């Protein structure tokens, strides 16, 4: 390995000439950066290498590059994983939009270093008060002896509920095809 080091160094040292950076006087030079380092010198690459452009090999590179956009879900007759696409809601007085990842916008918020748990529903469109009324009847049934503590933020289109009811609310939304 000791013999390898200078060899590897010669390959990976930047071959950009330093002089061209100095000429632009208005350009701010940050000496802390590797690009503008004073010690960066032009090094001749003595290691033999071959530059290839083979489409078959490049396919493997493209395969592992991370995608830049969130893809659309597959249109399937039946989904095995429990995920469902959103139904049509033209006549409904309220609507819960899906997140950019095609998921329901129901989140668990753990506050006070794990002491308190809150469920937050986001992206509620339309009549949020009617939505709250429907949700209240479902949740009050679920946590019967306890009172339901729920806060509606009409402006931010959010509802915050005391306690962890994420899965229950996701199930309820799924039943309503949201």
Partner 1 sequence: MGSNTTEKALSMLRFLPRVCLSNIRPHPNSRIRDKRGRGQHGGDKHGCGNKGSGQRQNYMRLGYETGNNPFYLRFPHEPYYQRHHLRREYPPVSLLQLLKFIELNRIDHTKPIDLVSVVNTGLYKLLPDQRQYGIQLTDEGADVFNLKINIEVQYATEVVIAAIEKAGGVITTAYYDQHSLQCMLNTKKFFERGVPIPKRMMPPPDAIEYYSDPAKRGYLADPDKISEERLVLAQKYGYSLPEIEKDPSYDMLTERKDPRQIFYGLHPGWVVNLRDKAILKPQDEELLKYYAN
Residue ranges binding partner 1 (CB under 8 A) = 3-4, 7, 11-12, 47-54, 57-61, 63-67, 70-74, 76, 79-83, 101-102, 113
Chain Cα centroid distance, residue 19: 42
Distances (CA, A) of 145 to 94, 142, 148, 162: 29, 9, 9, 15
Token digits of residue 25 = 């006087």
26/51 with CB nearer partner 1: 51
161: part of which helix (H) or strand (E)?
Answer: strand 158-162
53/144 with CB nearer partner 1: 53
In angstroms, what is the minimal distance from the CB of 3 to partner 1?
Answer: 7
In angstroms, what is the minimal distance from the CB of 148 to partner 1?
Answer: 27
In angstroms, what is the minimal distance from the CB of 7 to partner 1?
Answer: 7
20/54 with CB nearer partner 1: 54
Chain Cα centroid distance, residue 175: 26
In angstroms, what is the minimal distance from the CB of 85 to partner 1?
Answer: 10
Give the pairing type, strands 106-111 and 116-121: antiparallel
One DSSP character per residue, 83-127 reads -------SS-SEEE---TTS---EEEEEETTTTEEEEEE--EEE-
In angstroms, what is the minimal distance from the CB of 59 to partner 1?
Answer: 8
Return the half-sphere exposure (C-beta side, CA atoms, 13 A cut-off) of residue 35: 6
23/113 with CB nearer partner 1: 113
20/115 with CB nearer partner 1: 115
Residue given tokens 């986001």 in the structure block? 122
């Amino acid at each position: 390995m000791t013999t390898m080091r200078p060899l590897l160094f010669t390959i990976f040292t930047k071959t950009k000439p330093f002089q061209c950076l100095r000429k632009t006087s208005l350009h701010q030079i940050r000496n802390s950066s590797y690009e503008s380092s004073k010690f960066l010198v032009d090094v001749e690459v003595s290691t033999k290498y071959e530059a290839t452009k083979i489409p078959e090999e490049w396919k493997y590179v493209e395969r592992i590059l991370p995608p830049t956009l969130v893809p659309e879900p597959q249109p399937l007759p039946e989904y095995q994983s429990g995920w469902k696409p959103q139904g049509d809601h033209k006549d409904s007085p309220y609507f819960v939009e899906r997140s950019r990842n095609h998921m329901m916008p129901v989140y668990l918020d753990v506050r006070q270093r794990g002491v308190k748990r809150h469920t937050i529903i986001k992206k509620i469109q339309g009549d949020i008060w009617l939505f709250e009324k429907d949700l209240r009847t479902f949740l009050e049934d679920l946590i019967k002896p306890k009172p339901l503590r729920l806060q509606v933020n009409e402006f931010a289109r959010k509802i915050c509920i005391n306690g962890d009811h994420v899965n229950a609310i996701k199930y309820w939304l799924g039943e309503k095809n949201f």
